[in-house]
Structure 1
């Protein structure tokens, strides 16, 4: 029974398309599952498909056929009998999941039925057949579908690759006969020749080379077939390839231009190298792209066998081994250099035996001995000296381009064994390199302490100094060496006196070892130097002692040790070359702990050469903790000045340190002026430091004091801020608005506006609009801040709630009364002017009723003129005339006052010119009635007066918000129109004169004279061309009554056509486009225009009003209760808002009420405070950990280094800032987001 189950399992797993499972390649797909397959109705097994079957396979197949016949007789009939052994029977034997479905005769597409693809129908079958070498099957598959030659497997290999891999020559021959591609590359870039080489298919390689395949194709690894065979060391394949050497480029380069000989040298394939040289005639003297010869590669990679072959080749060519071994590469290395780089002692020995000289120098003049000493290869150095003893002394004395000997190289990289060996072999122990460094100094500079100790024991000179005049003790201290070990070695080898001579020697900068120990913070070295007797008050070239160094770099423990020494009390107040004491330096760098230590030890408050105390320097660099510490001990420093009269506040402002400025102001420093009569805010404005200015003008307690400062350069801080730093002044405005600390919907909620920043009651200087600098002393200008905003275009400042509320206060106090009174009086004047003009024209109809039918034309005209001038003077005319004269006299007085005030600027205002023309015409209009006579001029002036009076009313309406913007648009477009017409009047004159010449002789009245022609041409621009009456009828002479004609018809029509294109079409559209652009510009700047008009209105009013009245109605602050009904608008204001619009919208005020606190800034402040707390806690914990480690007597390298900053991190000191030494072009420290913050201060 188990055997039967085994047979059943075999039947289920057996495939009818299997030939020889043992021969299947794992890389070749056997079955590809497709959406559907087409099964032939009859399966024919060809004899050639079973050639490879074994006897075991045939037995298994016969047994399976017997089993299938037996099962067929047992299974119930399905109503459809199939032929024995037919595919349908076999299909029934298969599992349902893999049944083979036959297609109907109709030929359903394969996508309709799913199934499996038999091996006989698989497109990859040709790959397997090529691998097996069955030529007949391969031919049948090819002729069935010739495109199968290009089918690739998962690795991108074709049938040619498979045949080459399995050495199937017949398949390759057939592919070649059918024109197949034998140079096809797979996914790795390998051709069939590469694959044949890799699988060592000798016949395939021979056939492919005979067939003439390309041998220079590189795969993805930049390897041709000759490179691959050499790397894989396929000697037999290389011998076969040697038969076709004429078809192979032996000099072809692969990766980095390496030839096959380079590869043989790298991998030490001596047989391949021998064949390449002997058979292929490869030349070892061809370098790669990097300039290396094969012999260098062999030496570098310790390929001694290949190296020997190269040397033998050279001897066979008449080149001695010495010459071969002396080839230079691109860097000047000979093979011996390369062998030393490789580190193989056998390769080095081979080079030496071949005649390589150890004294050969490369381009940098270094010998192989230099390289071996630098690498620490003691055995190689000994071998070189052993094999070439005659070259030993020259090599030991040879120098490279840096004047370094092999001893320098060994000492530089801390190889004490080689150092000792070289000295024992006779090397000079104290040679000097290019920078006058001996091996001892070089070892100390590079931190090779073992080499330092060996050199000292062997008798090296410790008094040698380098080019910077530094001795070995300088370098040991600078690089953190163990001074106690160094002192012990020196004392043993030399004497204690020799060590003491090194303690106080100075280098080129005048610094002793103690200076460098203080600078680097090496505590142990400092202790040992002081213990050995180093002088602690030595000064360098800048007159700085070690204590100055320690204070500059924040070395707290170093400062304490120096002060605890015997002379500590004498050096604490010593000054350097600039007059700076250690307290000055520590304060300048912000080392708070060092400052505290110096103050506790009794440091005095000296001044430097610029008269500055430590507080000045701390403020200049913005160290607030140091400022607090200094003032807590010496509060009198707060207002001290330097030689230029600058206080700490001045210096902090010059260096743009807002935190220091805020702290000094909070400590109630005085706002003094220096010797140039400039305050701190003047410097902030001069240098345009927004951070510094913001810290001062938004300070919680001192902001008003700062804003009240005056100087000759900036007499009014507000105007300077508006001119140069508008964002800062916006923050000032924000601070001037305060809100009640209660709910916003409460009746007691109020908003308080402080107008002190916008007011200036005293005299001040005119300001430069660009810089805000003072120009000349003059009388005060009304509303100086608002006028400055208008002149500089600061829309955001004018639109600020404070500015709007300030204007609203002015409007409610006096503006609306005076302005409406002005409009009212002008309306009365306008009414009298209109009535007077109406009365003049009202009596004409009564007089002209006289019968004048019998009069000639001239008599009728004269009679009509007489009737027009015969006007009856009525009382209404007398009353109107008196009212007009009275109004004109009063306004003339007002205008004269304005002329006196504004001088020449008065005549530049077009409104003033319109006003004078109006008054003149009005006087001419009304005066003749007092004599009872009327003239023609009177009527002309009446027309002008009526027009200008109503036009002036239009100008007055621009003061109102709702209608004023339209008046502004009208005036803007009018200005543009006038400019354009002035320019294009040239065209009007041109066409007018042309029409005059062409039409005046044809009895055309509209073109009879030049002025009339110009007027007619201007009217034609509006489209009134009268083409029919002026051109068509005169051209055809249609009526007998037509007297006009065209004397020059062709040029007349040409000029007319040109006129219609240029004037009505082009010019008018241009004017329309400009008008639209002006309207858009006015719309964009409507807010500025509206606010500017209000500023101008109040400015003009304040110029005319008495100062006493202004002082009574003006207010310094205003408190509003938005939720109180008593504060709502009155009836009069409601009418104004309804009909004319309130000049002051509540949108800006709502912005102040609904303004949201800037939570980002608040969170940043909280984070800053938390970071400070964390920093303090970490410093405390660090101190505790130090104490714990000291108590536990744990020694670490960190214990030898003091706290403080690195000398590389500390910025170099370039000097001290004087009055005007701040840079002209200074990058802004950061983009200050707090400019837009409401009521925030730093």
Structure 2
């Protein structure tokens, strides 16, 4: 009897109907026999809501003697528990790894009556349970004891063993059974991920040996016929493995077994595109960082840093946006077909350069490196007129899951660098956006005067405080599904695409708004103060439409910031603007 199990059960089985359960928990065989032989016996198949029948409790407590007594008295070895994780006692014995009890129950109940489980529920079978929980010897016994296992149960056993990184169970199953290529591919997809949670788990602890087991597991499956270039949910496994830092061993195993390092997703992006920004580190945590080991593994296997996606962006573009100077130079030094100058001058299909991307990401170290080359055009325009300066000031988010936003101080530092090197402060995009408009897109409670000072600097350089341009707001009526790209604020040539079809991006266009309207809408308090200080009109002017104060009051972006809204409205109304 396990004391820990006895302790877990101590607050259960208090009603008279559960006296059998209590006697088994307490290891009291005389009491159990007395209850089974009494003139008014307790129902031996009564269910406890958490622990099942008395026979389930005997399995939980690893009491072969109690099992013998219950079977002798007619207990049902196949009664399924009524909790959220329904299992028969025989399947529970396989899960718990109790070989003597499993053998006794197997002898008691003909396998034809239970072994392949309820139709459509192979997880409830003892073979799948043994596989999922890593009981290799029990899985081997079950395969020895009976040759009537259905292919569905064997397939499910392989999949569950792969989901749990049970490398030696997988080795056993591959040796003792045949599997179709589709099943092997599914098992490889299951293995190339963090472990699947079991019913009783809320978290998973990983040891160092687990990651070695994962490498061995992937190698076994590929050697058995799984395709290392297969995809899961339209994402190639190489990309999935690369985007989980702690699964770098899986990436290594896939590459060593012939996976294509340049395989792409539906957007034409490779693993190197994805690894140019921080990616997830651990299971169940949002922590992210650059996966340098994954990058180096890919480059060692001839991954291309100048391979273009469907927009013409290369991994090098995205490294300028989302990494740091050291990683960017690692990408740059790996170029296979380009000299350094050609690589640095490379544009995507929309005319955006590495400097556009570095500025959009707020990566000042990369920007300084590019500008130091002496041949980069600081005012290069994209197809819709965006220069690096406007990219620097536009809000952006990095990473495939858009987990990190560019902070306002980062945007200002990037813009200041460009201005100090001669960037044109009066540029406007084809949408009519100016640097001042883009600065006004940043939420700012005014805790520092950095935004206000920079807005004043732009105005003193000639920025028009009354320049009107359309801005984008969320459209609650949009019916298209939310995709990962909707999580990122559009910048550069992507803005052109949003203006073409705003509903596809869950946006709608609000036309003819001044920088003061923009700042009011987005909670840019410092910019509001600077604009008012430099004579911006707090009314709607000669144009029809809402005043900046009303825009602030009705902004859905500021619904959770009523104090900021109140402060902005008071400033605007106090300056003569109506509501």
- Following TM superposition, by how much is the alpha carbon of 1:297 offset from its aligned partner in structure 2, in angstroms? 0.8
SS in 1 for 2:429: coil
Distance 2:384 2:225 in 1: 52
Distance 1:360 1:344 in 2: 20
| Contact 1:1234–1:1240 under 8 Å retained in 2 | no
- Following TM superposition, by how much is the alpha carbon of 1:598 offset from its aligned partner in structure 2, in angstroms? 0.7
Q: 2:128 aligns with which of 318, 324, 337?
A: 337
Distance 2:149 2:368 in 1: 56
- Structure 2: any 5+ residue segments left out of the alignment? 1-9, 195-210, 280-288, 396-407, 470-511
Partner residue in 2 for 1:416: 215
Partner residue in 2 for 1:514: 316
| Contact 1:358–1:369 under 8 Å retained in 2 | no
Tell me if 1:265 matches 2:130.
no
Partner residue in 2 for 1:430: 229
Q: 1:561 aligns with which of 369, 382, 387?
A: 369
- CA deviation vs aligned residue, 1:1105-1137 (integer Å, no higher than 9, x gap): xxxxxxxxxxxxxxxxxxxxxxxxxxxxxxxxx
Partner residue in 1 for 2:174: 385
Within-5 A mapping of 1:69-80: none
| Contact 2:136–2:169 under 8 Å retained in 1 | yes
SS in 2 for 1:338: helix
Partner residue in 1 for 2:450: 625
Within-5 A mapping of 1:86-165: none
Partner residue in 2 for 1:776: none
- Following TM superposition, by how much is the alpha carbon of 1:262 offset from its aligned partner in structure 2, in angstroms? 1.0
Partner residue in 1 for 2:49: 255
SS in 1 for 2:56: helix
Distance 2:384 2:42 in 1: 80
Q: 1:677 aligns with which of 542, 563, 568?
A: 542
| Contact 2:116–2:150 under 8 Å retained in 1 | no
- Following TM superposition, by how much is the alpha carbon of 1:528 offset from its aligned partner in structure 2, in angstroms? 1.1
Partner residue in 1 for 2:95: 300
Within-5 A mapping of 1:1112-1131: none
SS in 2 for 1:353: helix
Distance 1:526 1:189 in 2: 59
Instruction: Evaluate the alpha carbon distance shift between residue 633 and residue 434 of structure 1 in structure 2; reply closer, same or farther with a 3 A threshold.
Output: closer
Q: 1:574 aligns with which of 351, 376, 380?
A: 380
- Following TM superposition, by how much is the alpha carbon of 1:462 offset from its aligned partner in structure 2, in angstroms? 2.3
Distance 2:556 2:274 in 1: 42
Partner residue in 2 for 1:443: 241
Partner residue in 1 for 2:418: 598
Partner residue in 1 for 2:29: 235
Tell me if 1:327 matches 2:117.
yes
Distance 1:579 1:647 in 2: 19
Distance 2:105 2:556 in 1: 70
**Matched residue count:** 464
SS in 2 for 1:514: helix
- Following TM superposition, by how much is the alpha carbon of 1:1226 offset from its aligned partner in structure 2, in angstroms? 7.9
| Contact 1:340–1:372 under 8 Å retained in 2 | yes
- CA deviation vs aligned residue, 1:330-381 (integer Å, no higher than 9, x gap): 853121121223333333233222237887546xx96222222232222222
Instruction: Evaluate the alpha carbon distance shift between residue 690 and residue 487 of structure 1 in structure 2; reply closer, same or farther with a 3 A threshold.
Output: closer
Q: 1:527 aligns with which of 310, 329, 347?
A: 329
Distance 1:262 1:428 in 2: 41
- CA deviation vs aligned residue, 1:784-811 (integer Å, no higher than 9, x gap): xxxxxxxxxxxxxxxxxxxxxxxxxxxx
Partner residue in 2 for 1:662: 529
Instruction: Evaluate the alpha carbon distance shift between residue 516 and residue 296 of structure 1 in structure 2; reply closer, same or farther with a 3 A threshold.
Output: farther
Instruction: Evaluate the alpha carbon distance shift between residue 377 and residue 522 of structure 1 in structure 2; reply closer, same or farther with a 3 A threshold.
Output: farther
| Contact 1:337–1:371 under 8 Å retained in 2 | yes
TM-score relative to the length of structure 2: 0.67
Tell me if 1:455 matches 2:254.
yes
- CA deviation vs aligned residue, 1:589-617 (integer Å, no higher than 9, x gap): 44221111111222123222244432343
Distance 1:507 1:356 in 2: 51
Distance 1:484 1:335 in 2: 40
- CA deviation vs aligned residue, 1:719-756 (integer Å, no higher than 9, x gap): xxxxxxxxxxxxxxxxxxxxxxxxxxxxxxxxxxxxxx
| Contact 1:292–1:329 under 8 Å retained in 2 | no
Q: 1:1230 aligns with which of 554, 565, 568?
A: 565
Structure richer in helix, relative to its length: 1
Partner residue in 2 for 1:76: none
- CA deviation vs aligned residue, 1:384-404 (integer Å, no higher than 9, x gap): 334x1xx1444x6416xxxx5
Distance 1:486 1:367 in 2: 34
| Contact 1:336–1:356 under 8 Å retained in 2 | no
Distance 2:114 2:552 in 1: 75
Within-5 A mapping of 1:534-933: 535-539=343-347, 544-565=352-373, 567=375, 569-570=376-377, 572-589=378-395, 590=408, 591-605=411-425, 606-619=427-440, 621=442, 625-626=450-451, 628-629=453-454, 631-632=456-457, 635-639=460-464, 642=467, 648=515, 652=519, 657=524, 659-667=526-534, 669=535, 677=542, 687-688=549-550
- Following TM superposition, by how much is the alpha carbon of 1:252 offset from its aligned partner in structure 2, in angstroms? 0.7
TM-score relative to the length of structure 1: 0.34
- Following TM superposition, by how much is the alpha carbon of 1:305 offset from its aligned partner in structure 2, in angstroms? 1.2
Instruction: Evaluate the alpha carbon distance shift between residue 620 and residue 348 of structure 1 in structure 2; reply closer, same or farther with a 3 A threshold.
Output: closer
Partner residue in 1 for 2:183: 398
- Following TM superposition, by how much is the alpha carbon of 1:423 offset from its aligned partner in structure 2, in angstroms? 3.0
Partner residue in 1 for 2:199: none
| Contact 2:468–2:515 under 8 Å retained in 1 | no
Partner residue in 1 for 2:107: 312
| Contact 1:474–1:513 under 8 Å retained in 2 | yes
- Following TM superposition, by how much is the alpha carbon of 1:538 offset from its aligned partner in structure 2, in angstroms? 4.8
Q: Which has the larger radius of gyration?
A: 1
Instruction: Evaluate the alpha carbon distance shift between residue 357 and residue 461 of structure 1 in structure 2; reply closer, same or farther with a 3 A threshold.
Output: farther
Instruction: Evaluate the alpha carbon distance shift between residue 555 and residue 189 of structure 1 in structure 2; reply closer, same or farther with a 3 A threshold.
Output: closer
- CA deviation vs aligned residue, 1:402-458 (integer Å, no higher than 9, x gap): xx5222233324511222233344443333334152x33332133322222232223
| Contact 1:407–1:422 under 8 Å retained in 2 | yes
Q: CA RMSD of the aligned region, Å?
A: 4.2
